[in-house]
Amino acid sequence: MQRERTLASRVVYDGIGLHSGRPVHMELVPAATGTGIQFARADLPEALPVAATAANVTATLRATTIGAGALKFFTIEHLMSALHVHGIDNCLVLLDAEEPPVVDGSARTFFRLIAEAGTVEQDAERQVTVIDRVYRVDDGSHFVMAVPYDGLRVSFTSLNEHPLIGVQYYNLEVTPEAYEREIAPARTIAYEKEVKALQANGLGLGGSLETVIVYNDEGWMNPLNFPNELVRHKILDVLGDLRLAGMIRGHIIAVASGHALNTALAKQIAEERK
Tens of pLDDT, residues 153-203: 999 999 999 999 999 999 999 999 999 999 999 999 999 888 877 878 778
Whether 85 is in a domain gets the answer yes
The answer to whether 167 and 159 have CB atoms below 8 angstroms apart is: yes
Transcribe 246-261 into DSSP letters.
-SEEEEEEEES--HHH
pLDDT, residue 194, reads: 84
Q: How many domains does the chain have?
A: 1
Q: Which residues contact 144 (CB under 8 A, 6 or more apart)?
A: 136, 137, 138, 238, 252, 253, 254, 255, 257, 261, 262, 265
pLDDT, residue 274, reads: 76
Whether 198 is in a domain gets the answer no
pLDDT, residue 205, reads: 83
pTM of the model: 0.96
d(CA 210, CA 106): 11
For Cα atoms 201, 202, 205, give the angle at the middle one, nearest 5 degrees. 130
Whether 109 is in a domain gets the answer yes
Angstrom CA distances, 166 to 37, 187, 231, stand at 36, 17, 11
d(CA 229, CA 154): 15
Whether 73 is in a domain gets the answer yes
pLDDT, residue 81, reads: 98
**Numbered residues of the known binding site for Zn(2+):** 78, 233, 237
Q: With residue 13 as reference, give the H or E element that holds it.
A: strand 11-16
Q: Residues 83-111: what's their mean pLDDT?
A: 98
pLDDT, residue 193, reads: 84
pLDDT, residue 262, reads: 98
Tens of pLDDT, residues 86-95: 999 999 999 9
Whether 31 is in a domain gets the answer yes
Whether 223 is in a domain gets the answer no
Mean of all residue pLDDT scores within the chain: 95
Whether 261 is in a domain gets the answer no
The catalytic residue positions are 259
Whether 71 is in a domain gets the answer yes
Percentage of residues in the chain having pLDDT higher than 90: 87
Domain membership of residue 54 as a residue range: 3-127
Burial class (CB in 10 A: 0-12, 13-18, 19+), 149: middle
pLDDT at 206 over 90: no
Phi, psi of 100 (to 5 degrees): -65, 165
Query: Residue 91 is part of a domain; what is its CATH number?
Result: 3.30.230.20
Least confident of 142-151, 163-172, 189-198, 235-244: 189-198
